[in-house]
């Protein structure tokens, strides 16, 4: 079977990935940002690689992983990326395809204005009046920001990623003029935005149907406003999605029929529930172990024997190739439920899942989808997980081990997980994960850790070998089904309270929230599991480090406007190997635009914008908990006014001053720090 690599960046790229997954085809997608990773749906057939690569790095990545089919699904305007991809493939044995987007759009709308360049379009807009909805993304945004009279009228619609938001801030786009949203956008949504922001002009690239061009143009028509289209309407070279599917062995006609059936099931006549006859239908969600029939439980074998319909990924259906039963390759609820709607003749249905149905399995989501019905009898049968199997091979137990998965998932602070646990089992997406873990552990000086890599468990090709972190960096295994056993015989005991010494941080000359004040402030924050914290004015990052280190489920946005301080925050984040932190360079409150809403906020520095910051925090989440520190009389005066706001409740103000002993000859003398005001409060709705 072909090993497929997709360079994504368009709606078509995501659709191609979903189609491959629906047909149980393993593939890897390369994106250049965390946001690009977030918008891709999680599934067992998809591996996401996040890295900005030049042509040489692309070529190495293709060769190292043995890809035989490389698909360029980047945006038509990303000419440099396409050039690098084609150049990279030319030095490999892989076959190259360009996924074509239909960009030709013809229209006779009288207010449609065409421009070859963004500079020409911006010049024309300078002669206009009224608000402008700019839907060209962020890459060409600077072309429209050279004239203040034009820039102030722009309402910029961008994807909500750090790079785009940072660029808007640098160009001086105000937070209230940034619309950070993920498409696609319907005609109705575009029309609503025109009304909401009093838009008089819309600007778009010639992006074709998948880029939402027609939906934007139709909205402009409906509101009778000018529509500015930039670029050419020529159709680009390449292969359509049906051609790509044929190249990888999928029949486009069958795929289109399946897609049509799924779409029809979402019509007004479909409730999303299973339509059944009066008698009950039996649905069994069955775990089949690693994929070898010898590991399937007797109970599951009996269920398959009695079934009149077997559903699952292709590789799982192959386990039961000798069973004379109807087999359908699919694994998502959005495909399975419509199929069962259309085929009420099947009464005994078995749906297959790899490993154990209760261990990182899709069985949970499918059960929840089925549970909306009242006339389907659901039973879940467990299987043997790869963890249980590997533990038996290693002749060890797993009741005292930590178990995690990075197979299509993001987990934070893996170095610290290994640092504080003697035994860890870890599910991976492939060999790249092995290399990454080797690099992280080597960089952290944890070279005595032993890593056992298990691939193709239960198959004839089964491989179980132990490596050092350094050896993992050059690991070249080809299996995409990997399980690790990580043993750290020198695991440390984790301190369960905050309390890092001031000397633990890289500080330079940047102000820092000192240890005792930091601990009181953290206690006053009342952080819980799954909290999201804004550390506004992060400075050295001492509060960010302490807060994110309390729990891997806490996520911290460190917001810092000074370049030197932002660098120190990043250095200290790296020093403590914390991944549940994102550093935002910019000034609050504008820098808060587009971030996930916080549950808590710590304000160590406000840059004179305290009232504006508090107002913004309240708009973001009226149930937020806030803690502020103040040293100067001016800031204390600002806090006094903050506490009078109608939506501030339960104020808790503490004045703290600490002295530290220092040795002078044979005596210990106390040296006093500056007094610090620590103010904590909650928000409340103004109506209360």
In a domain, 64, yes or no: yes
The rounded distance, in Å, linking the Cα atoms of 21 and 332 is: 10
pLDDT given for residue 17 in this prediction: 85
CB 306 within 8 A of CB 282: no
Are 575 and 678 in a shared domain? yes
Q: What is the CATH number of the domain that holds 647?
A: 3.40.50.150
Q: Mean of the pLDDT values across residues 555-562?
A: 94
Token digits of residue 106:
């013809």
Are 521 and 461 in a shared domain? no
Are 563 and 614 in a shared domain? yes
pLDDT given for residue 280 in this prediction: 66
The rounded distance, in Å, linking the Cα atoms of 536 and 588 is: 7
CB 140 within 8 A of CB 150: no
What does the longest C-alpha to C-alpha distance in the chain come to? 93
pLDDT given for residue 270 in this prediction: 39
Which positions ≥6 away from 664 have C-beta within 8 Å? none
* The pLDDT of residue 252 is above 70: no
Q: pLDDT (tens digit, 9 = 90+) per residue, 153-179?
A: 999 998 887 788 888 888 888 888 999
In a domain, 364, yes or no: yes
In a domain, 69, yes or no: yes
Q: Mean of the pLDDT values across residues 334-343?
A: 85
Are 168 and 192 in a shared domain? yes
Are 224 and 325 in a shared domain? no
pTM over 0.85: no
Nearest to 593 by CA among 100, 57, 10, 164: 164
Lowest mean pLDDT among 36-50, 339-353, 618-632: 36-50
* The pLDDT of residue 103 is above 50: no
CB 155 within 8 A of CB 197: yes
In 272-369, the DSSP E strands lie at 281-287, 309-312, 326-329, 348-353
pLDDT given for residue 283 in this prediction: 92
pLDDT given for residue 679 in this prediction: 96
Task: DSSP letter for 289, please.
Answer: B
In a domain, 107, yes or no: no
Q: What is the CATH number of the domain that holds 428?
A: 3.30.950.10
In a domain, 493, yes or no: no
Which positions ≥6 away from 476 have C-beta within 8 Å? 64, 431
pLDDT given for residue 153 in this prediction: 92
Are 339 and 395 in a shared domain? no
Burial profile 108-137: b = 16 or more Cβ within 10 angstroms, e = fewer: eeeebbebeebeebbeebeeeeeebbbbbb
Share of the chain above pLDDT 90, in %: 43
CA–CA distances in Å: residue 468 to residues 397, 488, 592: 22, 11, 42
The rounded distance, in Å, linking the Cα atoms of 419 and 438 is: 14
- Could you tell me the residue range of the domain that residue 407 belongs to? 387-487
- 566: part of which helix (H) or strand (E)? helix 563-575
Total of domains in the chain: 5
CA–CA distances in Å: residue 121 to residues 115, 132, 229: 6, 12, 8
Are 478 and 395 in a shared domain? yes
Give the domain-ending residue among 314, 349, 384: 384
Are 679 and 575 in a shared domain? yes
Q: What is the CATH number of the domain that holds 329?
A: 3.40.1010.10
In a domain, 170, yes or no: yes
- 670: part of which helix (H) or strand (E)? strand 667-672
- 17: part of which helix (H) or strand (E)? helix 11-22
pLDDT given for residue 264 in this prediction: 47
Are 571 and 670 in a shared domain? yes
Alpha helices in 197-307 (DSSP H): 213-223, 241-247, 252-264, 298-306
HEC sequence for 630-657: ECCHHHHHHHHHHCCCCCEEEEEEEEEC
User: Which of the four pLDDT bands, split at 50, 70 and 90, describes residue 10?
Assistant: low
In a domain, 495, yes or no: no
Nearest to 387 by CA among 354, 425, 434: 425
Are 244 and 306 in a shared domain? no
In a domain, 173, yes or no: yes
Are 596 and 629 in a shared domain? yes
CA–CA distances in Å: residue 48 to residues 5, 66, 82, 594: 10, 16, 19, 23
Q: Mean of the pLDDT values across residues 236-249?
A: 74
Q: What is the CATH number of the domain that holds 216?
A: 3.40.50.720
Are 606 and 530 in a shared domain? yes
Give the domain-ending residue among 369, 384, 399: 384
């Amino acid at each position: 079977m072909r090993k497929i690599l997709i360079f994504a960046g368009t709606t078509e790229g995501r659709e191609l990935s979903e189609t491959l997954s629906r047909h149980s085809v393993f593939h890897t997608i390369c994106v250049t940002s965390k946001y690009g990773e977030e918008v891709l749906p999680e599934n067992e057939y998809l591996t996401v690689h996040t890295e900005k690569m030049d042509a040489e790095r692309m070529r190495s990545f293709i060769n190292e992983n043995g890809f035989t089919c490389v698909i360029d699904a980047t945006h038509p305007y990303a000419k440099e990326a396409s050039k690098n991809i084609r150049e990279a493939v030319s030095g490999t044995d892989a076959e190259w395809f360009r996924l074509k987007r239909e960009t030709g759009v013809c229209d006779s709308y009288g207010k449609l204005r065409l421009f070859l360049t963004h500079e020409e379009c911006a010049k024309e807009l300078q002669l206009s009046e009224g608000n402008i909805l700019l839907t060209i993304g962020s890459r060409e945004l600077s072309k429209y920001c050279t004239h203040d009279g034009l820039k102030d009228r722009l309402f910029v619609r961008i994807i909500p990623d750090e790079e785009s938001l940072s660029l808007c801030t640098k160009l001086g786009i105000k937070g209230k003029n940034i619309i950070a949203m993920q498409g696609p956008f319907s005609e109705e949504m575009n029309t609503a935005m025109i009304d909401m922001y009093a838009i008089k002009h819309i600007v778009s690239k010639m992006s074709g149907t998948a880029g939402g061009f027609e939906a934007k143009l139709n909205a402009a028509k409906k509101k009778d406003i000018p529509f500015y289209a930039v670029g050419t309407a020529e159709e680009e070279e390449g292969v359509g999605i049906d051609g790509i599917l044929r190249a990888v062995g999928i029949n486009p006609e069958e795929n289109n029929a399946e897609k049509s059936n799924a779409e029809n099931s979402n019509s007004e006549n479909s409730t999303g529930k299973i339509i059944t006859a009066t008698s009950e239908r039996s649905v069994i969600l069955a775990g089949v172990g690693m994929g070898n029939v010898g590991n399937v439980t007797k109970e599951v074998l009996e269920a398959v024997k009695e079934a009149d319909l077997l559903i699952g990924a292709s590789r799982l259906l192959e386990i039961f190739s000798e069973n004379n039963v109807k087999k359908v390759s699919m694994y998502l609820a959005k495909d399975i439920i419509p199929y069962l709607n259309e085929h009420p003749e099947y009464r005994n249905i078995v749906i297959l899942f790899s490993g154990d149905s209760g261990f990182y399995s899709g069985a949970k989501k499918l059960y929840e989808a089925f549970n909306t019905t009242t006339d389907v009898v659901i039973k879940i049968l467990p299987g043997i997980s790869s963890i249980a199997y590997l533990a038996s091979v290693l002749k060890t137990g797993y009741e005292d081990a930590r178990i995690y998965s990075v197979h299509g998932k993001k987990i934070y602070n893996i170095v610290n997980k290994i640092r504080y646990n003697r035994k860890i089992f870890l599910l991976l997406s492939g060999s790249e994960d092995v290399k990454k873990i080797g690099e992280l552990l080597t960089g952290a000086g944890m070279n005595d850790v032993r890593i056992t890599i298990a691939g193709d468990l239960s198959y004839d090709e089964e491989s179980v070998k132990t490596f050092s972190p350094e050896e993992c960096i050059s690991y070249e295994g080809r299996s995409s089904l990997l399980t690790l056993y990580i043993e750290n015989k020198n695991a440390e005991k984790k301190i369960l309270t905050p309390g890092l010494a001031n000397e633990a941080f890289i500080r330079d000359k940047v102000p820092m929230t000192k240890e005792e004040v930091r601990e009181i402030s953290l206690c006053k924050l009342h952080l819980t599991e799954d909290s999201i914290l804004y550390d506004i004015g992060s400075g050295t990052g001492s509060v960010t480090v302490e807060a994110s280190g309390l729990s891997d489920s806490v996520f911290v946005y460190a917001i810092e406007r000074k370049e030197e301080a932002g660098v120190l925050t990043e250095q200290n984040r790296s020093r403590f190997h914390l991944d549940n932190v994102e550093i935002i360079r910019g000034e609050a409150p504008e820098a808060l635009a587009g971030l996930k809403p916080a549950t808590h906020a710590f304000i160590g520095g406000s840059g004179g914008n305290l009232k504006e910051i508090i107002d913004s925090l309240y708009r973001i989440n009226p149930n937020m908990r806030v803690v502020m520190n103040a040293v100067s009389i001016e800031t204390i005066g600002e806090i006094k006014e903050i506490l009078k706001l109608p939506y501030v409740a339960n104020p808790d103000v503490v004045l703290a001053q600490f002295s530290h002993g220092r040795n002078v000859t044979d005596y210990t003398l106390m040296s006093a720090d500056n007094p610090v005001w620590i103010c904590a409060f909650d928000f409340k709705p103004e109506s209360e």
